[in-house]
Homo-oligomer: A and B are copies of this chain.
Amino acid sequence: MVKITDVARHAGVSPSTVSYALSGKRPISEETRQRIEASIRELGYRPHAGARALASSRSNVLALVVPLRAGIHVPVVMQFAVSVVTTARRHDHDVLLLTQEEGEDGLRRVADTALVDALIVMDVQLHDRRLPLLRALDRPSVLIGFPSEPKGLTCIDLDFQAAGEACVEHLAGLGHRVIALVGSPPEVYVRETGFAQRVVRGFTAAADRHGLSSSVHPCEAAPGAARQVAEQLLRERPALTGVVVHNEPIVEPLIEAFEQLGLRVPGDLSVTAICPDELADGTRVPVTSIAIPSAEVGATAVELLMKKLGGATVPEATLLPPRLTVRASTAPRP
C-alpha cells in the first residue's frame, strides 16, 4: 500500500505538505502542488479511509435508514436511495445502508462508533420512537417526513397538504362539484404516518373553500378493494365526477373498475392521483398527477445535511411544493 509518506518522499516534501495540498486547508504554491499531484498519480496513492477518519474525526460517510414495512412503494424508496448516493458522492461522501429493523440501536451504533458523520432517516412517523435519540445524538440528521413535533430536528418532504389542495383546485377549475378522495389503507392512518392525513386535510380544506361536495374513502391496496370502492361511490354518490387517488397500487385498478362500471375516464369521470410519475405515465389512460419527487427529496436531504456538517443552520421544515402534471385522465365536467 502506498501511503502519504511515500508520496511526500517522491515529491520531495513533507507529509503534512501533501496533506495540505490535498485538503486545501493551507496555501500551497502552485509549483509544489503540481509536483505532489504528479507523484500521487504516478504512485497511485489513495488515502486510507480509516486513518483519515481517525485523525480528522470525519468519516465522510452518511447513514441512510430505509423502511421495510409493507405498504411502502418500493420503487420510490429505491429512487430516493439512488438520489442520496449520487448527491452524496458529489460532496465526496459515501452512504451506509441501514434498515428500519435495526431501530434505535442501529442509529446509536453507527453514530457512536463514528462510522458515519450524519444520518438520513426515511419514513418518519408522527410519534416516531427514534426522535428523542436523533435529537440527542451528536451528529446531524435529516428526516424524510414530518413528526408531530419537529422542533430541534430537520425535516423534509413533499408538501402533501398542498398536494391534496392542488388536486382539488385542478378539479374545481374544470368545473367539478362533487368529488371524492380514495386514500391509503386504513392502517396507514392508524399508524399516524402523517402524510396520509395531510392529504386528507388539504383535500377537505380546498373542497370546502370551493364549496364542493366531498368525501374521503380509505382503501386497501388491492384491485378487489378498488372495485368495491368504485361500486360504493357509484351507489352512494351518483353525482360524482371527480376523484383524487392517494394509493399507488390501486390507481390503475380503480380506473378500470370505473370503466367496467360504465364510466368513461375522463369522459364521465376525472381522476387525479398523487403518485410517482412513472406510474401515472404507465397506465392505459395516463393519469393527471402530482409526482412524489423522491429524487428531489433525496438530493435536498443530502444538501441540507452537508450544510449542517458545515456548521450552517438550516430550516427545521422544508416542504417541497407539489407539481401537477396534466395528463389524459382529467377533463371539464360533462
Tell me whether A96 and B99 are in contact (CB under 8 A).
no
A102 within 8 A of B: yes
Q: How many copies of this chain does one complex carry?
A: 2
Contact of A81 (CB < 8 Å), options: B75, B97, B115: B97
Residue on B with the closest CB to A88? B97
**Which stretch (A10-18, A42-50, A149-157, A206-214) binds chain B?**
A42-50
Contact of A53 (CB < 8 Å), options: B44, B50, B74, B110: B50
Most buried by B among A66, A98, A113: A113
Residue on B with the closest CB to A138? B1
A112 within 8 A of B: yes
- How distant is A230 from chain B, measured CB to nearest CB, in Å? 16
Tell me whether A74 and B78 are in contact (CB under 8 A).
yes
Contact of A102 (CB < 8 Å), options: B64, B89, B96, B97: B89
Contact of A51 (CB < 8 Å), options: B54, B64, B68, B82: B54
- Render A67-94 as a binary contact track against B, CB cut-off 8 A, 1 for contact: 0100000110110011001100100001
- Bound state CA distance, A59 and B98, in angstroms? 16
- Bound state CA distance, A113 and B112, in angstroms? 22
Residue on B with the closest CB to A50? B53
Tell me whether B49 and A59 are in contact (CB under 8 A).
yes
Contact of A223 (CB < 8 Å), options: B99, B101, B284: B284
Residue on B with the closest CB to A83? B99
A95 within 8 A of B: yes
Tell me whether A48 and B113 are in contact (CB under 8 A).
yes
List the B side residues contacting A64 at CB < 8 Å: 97
- How distant is A238 from chain B, measured CB to nearest CB, in Å? 28
Tell me whether A54 and B46 are in contact (CB under 8 A).
no
List the B side residues contacting A113 at CB < 8 Å: 46-49
Contact of A114 (CB < 8 Å), options: B50, B101, B109: B50
- Bound state CA distance, A61 and B50, in angstroms? 11
- Bound state CA distance, A78 and B102, in angstroms? 16
Could you name 12 residue pairs across A and B whose Cβ atoms are closer than 8 Å?
A49-B50, A49-B53, A49-B59, A49-B114, A49-B115, A50-B52, A50-B54, A50-B114, A85-B97, A94-B97, A97-B97, A223-B284
Binding site for B on A (CB under 8 A): 44, 46-54, 57, 59, 61, 64, 66, 68, 74-75, 77-78, 81-82, 85-86, 89, 94-99, 101-102, 109-110, 112-115, 223, 284
